[in-house]
Structure 1
Amino acid sequence: MIGILIPAHNEEAWLHDCLHAALRAARHTSLAGEPVEVLVILDSCTDRSAQIVSQYPVQAMTIEARNVGQARALGAQRLLERGARWISCSDADSRVAEDWLVEQLGLGTDAVCGTVTVEHWHESFDEAAQIRYHRDYQASEGHRHIHGANLGVSAQAYLRAGGFEPLACDEDVQLVRQLERSGASIAWSHRPQVVTSARLDSRARGGFGDYLRQLAQTE
């Protein structure tokens, strides 16, 4: 089966849209009926995230780590134990495209690094900051961006690379570097599409939200 892995820390504002999108991708006809399991790792949640997840036909795991790397590692381990041949990672504040899984698998590689599209810029992210972002961001084939919100890897390649490490941030970057060192084939593609939030109050220090905040503060 295919596993979709989504870590969440106090994500009640985003989870409905995230899970609607993930389940729609899981039902894509081009998957030919292959089972897809969605697993949400509820990490130190004190809001309504757990209640929201319980309303959907998805799996849930509750941990108290406050560590996205550990959340992804435990989630990947659970999916592998349940027979996943491929693990697709996203984030709770993101929406995957309907053909997201189809596009990842269709690239025929050991791993896929996809791009993200930012939706609804934060009011403090002015036009100048948006120009800086689009100047530096390559939404195209052959890009070199790494996002936990749009990352896929085969079970075999994941295990050869040693899996996610319990890092507070950049656990996705670490895994991709390990995949490169292990000789895995990696597609750097714009085909698998994910829309993500432009929030500046990122859940993980050093993550995408921090990057946007730094751009917003640049003179």
Structure 2
Amino acid sequence: MKPVTAPDIAVVIPARNEEERIAACLAALAGQCPGRVAVILVVNNTTDRTEDVARDAAGQLGLDLTVLSLRLGAQEGVGTARRIGCDHALRSLPALRYLFTTDADGIVDKHWISRTIAHLKAVDAVCGKIEPMAREAGILAAMDRHLGALEGLYRRLVQDFYARHVPGCADLAGTHGEAAGASLAFTRDAFVAAGGFAPIKCGEDRRIVRTLRGLGCKVRHADDVTVQVSCRLSGRAAGGMSDALRARIGQADYLIDDCLPPADWLTRRAYTETLGPWPPLVPTRFRIKVCDLPRHIEMLKTYRNSEWLIPAPDAPAATLSQSVRDSEAPEWGSATVPADPRPQTRRDTFPGTSVAILKPTVGTADPERSPR
């Protein structure tokens, strides 16, 4: 096999005022796939020594580092920074095959690159698993464990719902299901096909994964690709992880993750075959408050267990993931199947899935009514 003579892997890292963390971030990348990796640090709107610290660290570690220093406008943000860094990689690295991105406050696993590339031999994009830094995990102790468990259970139920009803999403069942910018990677062709990262303040990570799935690309949520991230409560990106943590620590009835739709929204979209790709983006007016989760959990369990959802005969069933079966809290139990008062039904199968739904021939609910 001909040896690689030029970097074919780019790791893009947006950074703003990260002088205290950037050296550790870069140190975690040192020694991974030597000679193949070019790191592109996009330093934006920074008032500290992030760039100087990064250059010093890269010199000591022997990293191939390029620093892009710029100032973003008021309507721009981390999505813009990732896009600029990736565009630079596409222009400047003629041998480029893989594009990675992480965050400046993250510490990737020592096998982060090699394990991701192993997955990219079979798929177009890899979403890694995000874990809290052990030394900062104490911050999470202030969160309500019961509410956190409810949101975790609901996430697993929603992902299983997508796995059963949306073509191309069977892989979601039993995985972490996240699509965080702290650990994303793409083949060059897939990244270009998706049009790159959207130049927006926040949410560019989930948006590109949604786009890829919509294009029919294969996305894998890999549990063996991990990165530890900061639990700090003062973050750099509006709407990012720090904001989410603050809400969960400081509010008794916070809004849950905006990729988790209301249960009735899900079932109605499944009924009309209009769910769209994972991960969804729930409009603010439809987002669920954590204290309302028991009702939505019960609705999804009822839908899953009822006679309205039965295996289609001509396709293998997308089985319910073990993670949901094992994690069901005993206090919820299994929903009782209600008697169906409607005398006539027809049996339809979702295209590309293993699920058939008994649909009413009369009395169909208005699909445009509010889902909550």
- The TM-score normalised by the length of structure 1 is 0.89
Q: How far has the Cα of 1:131 moved from its partner?
A: 6.0
Q: Aligned to 1:148, which of 181, 184, 200?
A: 181
Partners of 2:149 and 2:101 lie apart in 1 by: 24
Pair 1:196 & 2:206 matched: no
Pairs aligned (count): 213
Q: In the superposition, relative to structure 1, how do residues 92 and 173 fare at CA in structure 2: closer, same or farther (>3 Å)?
A: same
Question: Letter of the aligned partner of 1:49 in structure 2?
Answer: T
Q: Aligned to 2:125, which of 96, 99, 111?
A: 111
Q: How far has the Cα of 1:145 moved from its partner?
A: 1.1
SS at match of 1:42: strand
Identity of aligned residues (%): 29
Partners of 2:66 and 2:145 lie apart in 1 by: 37
Can you list the C-alpha shifts for 1:37-73, whole angstroms capped at 9, x where unaligned?
0110001111010101111131111111161111100
Can you list the C-alpha shifts for 1:123-142, whole angstroms capped at 9, x where unaligned?
65435446654664589952
Question: Letter of the aligned partner of 1:172 in structure 2?
Answer: D
Partners of 2:47 and 2:33 lie apart in 1 by: 28
Q: How far has the Cα of 1:202 moved from its partner?
A: 1.4
Q: How far has the Cα of 1:167 moved from its partner?
A: 0.7
Partners of 1:185 and 1:72 lie apart in 2 by: 21
The aligned runs of 1:40-59 (5 Å cut-off) are 40-55=41-56, 56=58, 57=63, 58-59=65-66
Over the aligned positions, Cα root-mean-square deviation in angstroms equals: 2.1
What residue ranges of structure 1 are gaps of 5+ in the alignment? 28-32
Q: Aligned to 1:158, which of 191, 197, 212?
A: 191
Q: In the superposition, relative to structure 1, how do residues 199 and 184 fare at CA in structure 2: closer, same or farther (>3 Å)?
A: same
Match of residue 19 from structure 1: 26
SS at match of 2:30: helix
Question: Letter of the aligned partner of 1:39 in structure 2?
Answer: I
Q: Aligned to 1:93, which of 102, 105, 118?
A: 105
Partners of 1:71 and 1:164 lie apart in 2 by: 9
Are the aligned partners of 1:23 and 1:38 in contact in 2 as well (CA < 8 Å)?
no
Are the aligned partners of 1:111 and 1:151 in contact in 2 as well (CA < 8 Å)?
yes
Partners of 2:143 and 2:117 lie apart in 1 by: 37
Q: How far has the Cα of 1:25 moved from its partner?
A: 2.7
What residue ranges of structure 2 are gaps of 5+ in the alignment? 1-7, 157-172, 253-372
